[in-house]
A = this chain, B = another copy of it.
Amino acid sequence: MDNLNVAILGCGTVGGGVARILLDMQDELTTRAGKHIRLVKIVELSPEISAKRFNIPLDLFCGKGSELSKEESNNYIREIIQSDEIDLIVETIGGSNDFVEQLAIDICKSGKHLITANKALLAERGDKIFGAAKESGSFIGYEAAVCGAIPVIKTIKESFTGDRIRTISGIMNGTSNYILSMMHNERMEFKDALKLAQENGYAESDPTLDINGYDAGHKLVILIRLAFGVNLPMYKIPIQGIENIQKEDIEFAEEIGAKIKLICFAHKIDGKIYATVCPMMVKNSNFLAEVNGATNAVKFINEYSGKHILVGAGAGSSETASSIVADIVFGAKHQGKLESEINSNEIEFTDAKHYQLPYIITFETGDIPGITGLVTTSIGHQNINIDTVSHNRHKRNCATFFIATMPCTLQQVEDAIQEIRKSNPEILLSIPKIIPILN
């Protein structure tokens, strides 16, 4: 039986988990892969900590377990890429910079398989890396880059091949979902929920990328590339985080039978793709509304097979590591056959201005007679059908409007708001908040 020799670069939370599973499951992996999967080398700056945390023999580490300088580490990495002994490299260093990009390209060019959990790298610089892999015939496994343990990549690549994906909607960031769940279930304010998330290990000390939607955006870019065969750069996707969600929004969501979730959304319609990452009011009849805490979930609507939902752990050491090991086995089993990631670049993108969704519009106005008529008439002028209107007067002398529309474009909504503003420049006491509804 052949060997498949594996090296791990970076032995932290994820890389260490991979090493642990490779050592624990040696016999089963051999049976499943039809090859001896052997962990032969690990490059890590601080091997002792890592070896202790994951119970890994020190002699697997380059340098026999002594601390490495950056330079030494780079030299070992270079040796591994050039070594004929290594067949597959797990990159769990992380980061999206020139160094890691070049590293990934060099691995592919060497003809070795590359397995990575690096979503930022693949989302921002995937083009060149997949290009290098295509040329050399290397396999890139990146199941762990999107939604941790959920096998969403292989589901698209191997299971939805007899179908056409129409819509992707998903909860792909555990931190923001944890915060929003706390705001719903415990009626917490955003900042308190964030603090709790940090205390409980669900948010990093700098939670920016999780909160502002960019981490979720990276994952959406990767899924769009795979599902629709196109390269959609991040900057073309309207991305909004959850920082501005308030208690009142949560309460109104509950009132209309919905939960606010940070949703990654992509829809291919009439040959065009609409994509966004933003908080949405997810109706309780939609499974995604029931996904609480740090759990991730992805929903697909396909042409032939209809609705699919995949739910699982979006992060975690052994959870993410398990996805990486599955990629190693896949690479071994199927000779890492690479399909073209990009089928076509000719698909157009449509923006929110022209894509129809039902919306919730909330804003404060002066509490003056006739205001409801004025607001609803302006909305009607833009051919928007109103589903429900609600307003309350909790604070001062102002009315807070919550208007649920039938599907319309963002352009129509913005024009309606413009008209309200024009009728009396002082009528709007807050910047209107526009949140799509997901049925």
Contact call A339/B333, Cβ cutoff below 8 A: yes
Give A32 to B159 CA distance when docked, in angstroms.
11
B residues in contact with A164, CB < 8 Å? 25, 28
B residues in contact with A160, CB < 8 Å? 151, 326
Contact call A155/B151, Cβ cutoff below 8 A: yes
Q: 1/0 per residue A145-166: CB within 8 Å of B?
A: 0001111001100111111100
B residues in contact with A273, CB < 8 Å? none
Q: Which of these, B161, B306, B323, contacts A162 with CB under 8 Å?
A: B323
Q: Which of these, B28, B162, B319, contacts A324 with CB under 8 Å?
A: B162
B residues in contact with A17, CB < 8 Å? 304
Contact call B287/A21, Cβ cutoff below 8 A: no
B residues in contact with A29, CB < 8 Å? 161-162
Asked whether any CB of chain B lies closer than 8 Å to the CB of A248, the reply is no
Q: How far is the CB of A259 from chain B (nearest CB, A)?
A: 13
Asked whether any CB of chain B lies closer than 8 Å to the CB of A355, the reply is no
Question: Which of chain B's residues has its CB closest to A312's CB?
Answer: B308
Q: How far is the CB of A429 from chain B (nearest CB, A)?
A: 40
Q: How far is the CB of A26 from chain B (nearest CB, A)?
A: 12
Asked whether any CB of chain B lies closer than 8 Å to the CB of A53, the reply is no
B residues in contact with A327, CB < 8 Å? 162
Q: Which of these, B290, B306, B324, B334, contacts A149 with CB under 8 Å?
A: B306
Contact call B150/A325, Cβ cutoff below 8 A: no
Asked whether any CB of chain B lies closer than 8 Å to the CB of A322, the reply is yes
Q: 1/0 per residue A31-43: CB within 8 Å of B?
A: 1111000000000
Would you list which residues of chain A between 303 and 361 have a CB under 8 Å from chain B? 304-313, 316, 318-319, 321-330, 333-334, 337, 339-340, 343
Give A343 to B33 CA distance when docked, in angstroms.
13
Q: Taking A151-B155, A287-B290, A329-B161 as contacts, is the C-beta distance between A305 and B323 under 8 angstroms? A: yes
Asked whether any CB of chain B lies closer than 8 Å to the CB of A87, the reply is no
Question: Which of chain B's residues has its CB closest to A328's CB?
Answer: B162
Q: Which of these, B151, B154, B305, B330, contacts A318 with CB under 8 Å?
A: B305
How many identical subunits does the complex contain?
A: 2
Most B-side CB within 10 Å, residue of A25, A33, A151, A162: A162
Asked whether any CB of chain B lies closer than 8 Å to the CB of A302, the reply is yes
Asked whether any CB of chain B lies closer than 8 Å to the CB of A143, the reply is yes
Contact call A337/B333, Cβ cutoff below 8 A: yes
B residues in contact with A309, CB < 8 Å? 309-312
Contact call A34/B326, Cβ cutoff below 8 A: no
Contact call B323/A316, Cβ cutoff below 8 A: no
Most B-side CB within 10 Å, residue of A33, A161, A312, A329: A161
Contact call B161/A330, Cβ cutoff below 8 A: yes
Q: Taking A149-B308, A308-B310, A308-B311 as contacts, is the C-beta distance between A321 and B154 under 8 angstroms? A: no
B residues in contact with A155, CB < 8 Å? 151, 154-155, 159
Q: Which of these, B32, B159, B312, B324, contacts A143 with CB under 8 Å?
A: B159
Contact call A304/B326, Cβ cutoff below 8 A: no
Q: Taking A155-B151, A337-B333 as contacts, is the C-beta distance between A25 and B162 under 8 angstroms? A: yes
Contact call A321/B304, Cβ cutoff below 8 A: yes
Q: Which of these, B161, B326, B328, contacts A158 with CB under 8 Å?
A: B326
Q: How far is the CB of A350 from chain B (nearest CB, A)?
A: 22
Q: How far is the CB of A139 from chain B (nearest CB, A)?
A: 12
Q: How far is the CB of A97 from chain B (nearest CB, A)?
A: 28
B residues in contact with A308, CB < 8 Å? 149-151, 310-312
Q: How far is the CB of A203 from chain B (nearest CB, A)?
A: 19
Q: A25-B162, A151-B308 are in contact. List 12 more A-B contacts (CB 8 A).
A: A31-B340, A31-B343, A143-B159, A151-B155, A155-B155, A162-B326, A162-B328, A163-B322, A305-B313, A305-B319, A309-B311, A334-B334
Q: Which 6 A-B pairs have the closest CB atoms?
A: A162-B325, A151-B159, A149-B305, A162-B326, A309-B311, A305-B322
Q: Write 10 A-B pairs (CB below 8 A) sorted by A numbering.
A: A29-B162, A32-B161, A151-B158, A154-B154, A154-B155, A155-B155, A158-B330, A162-B321, A162-B328, A295-B307
